[in-house]
A and B are shown apart, each in its own frame.
Chain A
């Protein structure tokens, strides 16, 4: 207290402080809520970190070729040795049937008189059938098999074919082995943390549903104090949660952190404020908790899908790309990836932080305005 006076710090609004205390004790009165808020995200982080893999494994590949077909056999051997593929046995009669029944994911069929013979005559093509129900996987599978086949064909020709003078010298930076978890963990942290939006959204809606909002309004408390008091506790919770979730992911999956920790912390604060403000905005629009929940979803699900975690943003049509500018998840994913993997370039960090802060201000402004209207 004395220190505060000596430093001339303004006195923090006691009403809001009271609100924060009430809201936090209400949330943690139920031990299960505390567990959900702080233990569940960690478990999810560890769990889903394994699921989010962009590299493929255990693809069932069948090779239909005569036993003496040297090139086809060698392609098969090399594919199985690569660790990406598992042998699948198929009926020689109808490989289509096997793909339809899901007994194989890809089938390589040598031409009738053998792939080796066809190649030696100068123009041979083997057919590769791929189950493309998962289009992304199909594309990667094709890439793997074509690469393996090209290697085998070059080797089989004895001498290296005339490659020509131009040689690409490819250097993959930041994540040379293209390890999935290094790329995905920062994004997963954003997904897990964003689940808290719904909680914020339900705060005010609960007061409305239980009828305690009237009581609050009749008390000598201003409206923005109610809103701030209802939002700040969730900002605090999100802020405490972020380091827990991130540290779990980083330690568990050995993600290298190249940027400054204060940048991550700053982004986390702004993200927490932005999402909690959006939660409060939804809350001020909703009449009961069910509405708040659905509203929260309506924000969160597109928010996740348009965050760049699942689908690259650059490929989206322009109209949708513009919508992603309204998505705080997008900025936080970009920030975390850039800071953690690349060390944080000022050209990326500041614009993204500014945009997220602007979103927070707009949402807070709208929430206050809307809250007044619904009450009058």
Chain B
């Protein structure tokens, strides 16, 4: 009673929460199962490089030259080529999502190529799908050059060229790119959502009053309730790590100690965020909604997971800077792929530390104020 912070009382609160979790194996299973399924799933699923783009060719020439051009498309490996169905309007094929592009070879193509006149080939590209349209247009330049090389014997490559080396992920393996990012998304969601519910539940069922009438102090309730979830989230991280390394073969190039420290630095502000939400709104349905809005979409969209932060307008660049997910994304990619050391990670780690410090302070203050009627 007289000590402000009693480990025994914290332990009993924590024990009660552990019982809650254990009595309901569903939470435990999902707390660990959800990340596992996601990582396995996405480790296998994600193929970012658009291979085999569906294109259709209207060959109105039917000569050796036109067939060689079609061959150039299919031999590149980027396209799955099919002839246009007879009688179909060309644009309606794109409207109906039957193809990402339609290539039209005019009747005079072969003759023009033989005589060296300019033989135009119209390519209609479906611009409604940005991701594939951009890549497709990029591929077309190469195909055009290759087609000219085989049909008119122009040089295969210009005199100067760039030899590109992709560092840290030389084969642009999508899995290496997605899985370190999933760490961020999964951890953010689990930490915020699980804690957002726990205190809100106590309020909703009215057991919070009961807890408060006992000699346990507010700070002890907070620490006691959060510790089991901290352990659960860390367990999930370890599990995901094991799967990523052993099953998916993701490289890990930096230090494990740094990674562990960063994880803690990332999880603490998230737990505080969840707690802040649930002690403020006190109703589970609302806590969930606020938790979702403040964790899921920011972790996926504003963290640089897929859409790079540099491309956003300046304001959003700043906005993402106050979100822990952005910094942990940088840390995860740095640690897994880049062999980043303390020097490289100093900025993101400091940022996490500051965000965590502010959030924990706000939460504790808010929790205290809330309890005094």
Tell me whether A171 is interfacial, beta carbon within 8 Å.
yes
Interface centre among A53, A124, A135, A171 (most CB of B within 10 A): A135
For residue B327, give the distance in angstroms from its CB to the closest CB of chain A. Answer: 12
CA A151 – CA B193 in complex, angstroms? 51
Contact of A206 among B285, B304, B330 (CB under 8 A): B285
Question: Is A136 a contact partner of B124 (Cβ separation < 8 A)?
Answer: no
Contact with B along A24-48 (1 / 0, CB 8 A): 0000001011001100100010011
- Please pick, from B125, B130, B316, the residue contacting A183 in the complex, using a CB distance under 8 A: B130
A128 and B163 contacting across the interface, CB-CB below 8 Å:
yes
Residues in A with CB closer than 8 Å to B312 are 50-51, 53
Restricting to A186-213, which residues have a CB under 8 Å from any CB of B? 191-192, 195, 198-199, 202, 206, 209-210
Q: A130-B165, A166-B113, A317-B45 are in contact. Are A297 and B127 (CB under 8 A)?
A: no
With a cutoff of 8 Å between Cβ atoms, the chain B residues found around residue A343 in the complex are 95
* A165 within 8 A of partner (CB): yes
Q: Which residues of A contact B91 (CB under 8 A)?
A: 173
Given the known interface contacts A40-B293, A54-B307, A290-B24, the answer about A168 and B144 at a Cβ–Cβ threshold of 8 Å is: yes
Cα–Cα distance between A136 and B50 once the two chains are bound (Å): 10
- Whether the Cβ atoms of B148 and A165 lie closer than 8 Å is yes
Say yes or no: A36-B48 contact (C-beta < 8 A), given A52-B307, A58-B311, A175-B130.
Answer: no
Asked whether, in the complex, the Cβ of B47 is within 8 Å of the Cβ of A130, the reply is no
**CB of A328, distance to nearest CB on chain B (Å):** 18
Q: Does A226 contact B (CB under 8 A)?
A: no
Given A124-B160, A337-B128, are A132 and B166 also a contact pair (CB < 8 Å)? yes
Asked whether A166 and B119 contact (CB < 8 A) given A131-B168, A316-B47, the answer is yes
B306 within 8 A of A: yes
A265 within 8 A of B: no
Q: Please determine whether B152 and A164 come into contact, CB atoms closer than 8 angstroms.
A: yes
Nearest residue in A to B291 (C-beta to C-beta)?
A: A293
Instruction: Please give, as numbers and ranges, the residues of chain B lying within 8 Å of A302 by CB-CB distance.
Output: 37-38, 41
Chain B contacts for A162, CB-based, 8 A: 154-155
Quick check: B147 and A54 within 8 Å, CB to CB? Answer: no
**Contact in complex: B123, A127 (CB < 8 Å):** no
A261 within 8 A of B: no
When the two chains form their complex, are residues B311 and A96 in contact, meaning their CB atoms are under 8 A apart?
no
Q: Which of B34, B174, B310 contacts A135 (CB 8 A)?
A: B174
Stretch from B10-18, B131-139, B362-370 contacting the other chain = B131-139
Q: Tell me the bound Cα distance from A204 to B366 in angstroms.
A: 31
With A157-B159, A315-B50, A334-B97 given, is the CB distance from A129 to B165 under 8 Å?
A: yes
Query: Per-residue CB proximity of B282-318 to A under 8 Å, as 1/0?
Result: 0111101110110011001110101110111101100
Task: Tell me if B333 is interfacial: C-beta within 8 Å of chain A.
Answer: yes
Q: How far is the CB of A150 from chain B (nearest CB, A)?
A: 7
Give the Cβ gap from A303 to chain B, nearest Cβ, in Å: 12
Among A2-10, A242-250, A306-314, the stretch in contact with B? A306-314
Give per-residue flags for A141-167: 1 if the beta carbon is below 8 A from chain B beta carbons, else 0.
011011101100110010001111111
Once the chains bind, are A171 and B24 in contact (CB under 8 Å)? no
Give the complex CA separation of A223 and B113 in angstroms. Answer: 74
A54 touches B177 (CB 8 A): no
The 0/1 profile, CB within 8 Å of B marked 1, for residues 99-134 of chain A is 111100100100000010011001111111111111
Q: Which residues of A contact B49 (CB under 8 A)?
A: 139, 315
- Report the Cα distance A138→B173, complex, angstroms: 11
Q: Is A342 an interface residue (CB 8 A)?
A: yes
| B128 CB contact (under 8 Å) in A138, A161, A183, A306 | A183
Contacts of B41 in A (CB 8 A): 302, 320
**Docked-complex contact B289 and A167, CB < 8 angstroms:** no
B292-A195 in contact (CB<8A): yes
Which of A134, A135, A166, A199 lies in contact with B151, CB distance below 8 A? A166
Chain B 101-144, CB within 8 Å of chain A: the 1/0 string?
00000000000110011111111111111111111011011011
* Bound-state Cα–Cα, A300 to B141, Å: 39
Whether B167 is near chain A, meaning CB under 8 Å from some CB there, is yes
The verdict on B339 contacting chain A, using a C-beta distance below 8 Å, is: yes
- Given A51-B312, A173-B125, A44 contacting B297 (CB threshold 8 A): yes
Q: Let me know if B166 and A56 touch, CB within 8 A.
A: no
Q: Are A52 and B301 in contact (CB under 8 A)?
A: yes
Q: Chain B interface (Cβ within 8 Å of chain A)?
A: 24, 26-27, 30-31, 34, 37-38, 41-42, 44-54, 69, 91-92, 94-98, 112-113, 116-135, 137-138, 140-141, 143-145, 147-149, 151-152, 154-155, 158-170, 172-174, 176-177, 185, 189, 193-194, 197, 201, 204-205, 281, 283-286, 288-290, 292-293, 296-297, 300-302, 304, 306-308, 310-313, 315-316, 319-320, 330, 333-334, 337-340, 343-344
Q: Given A99-B167, A290-B24, A314-B52, 14 other A-B contacts at CB below 8 A?
A: A48-B301, A60-B310, A115-B160, A124-B160, A134-B308, A135-B166, A137-B308, A164-B149, A165-B118, A168-B144, A184-B130, A289-B285, A290-B27, A295-B30
Can you show 20 pairs from A to B with CB atoms below 8 A apart?
A36-B289, A47-B316, A56-B311, A133-B169, A135-B177, A138-B166, A140-B134, A164-B148, A165-B152, A169-B123, A173-B94, A293-B284, A301-B189, A315-B48, A316-B47, A334-B97, A338-B128, A342-B128, A347-B95, A347-B96
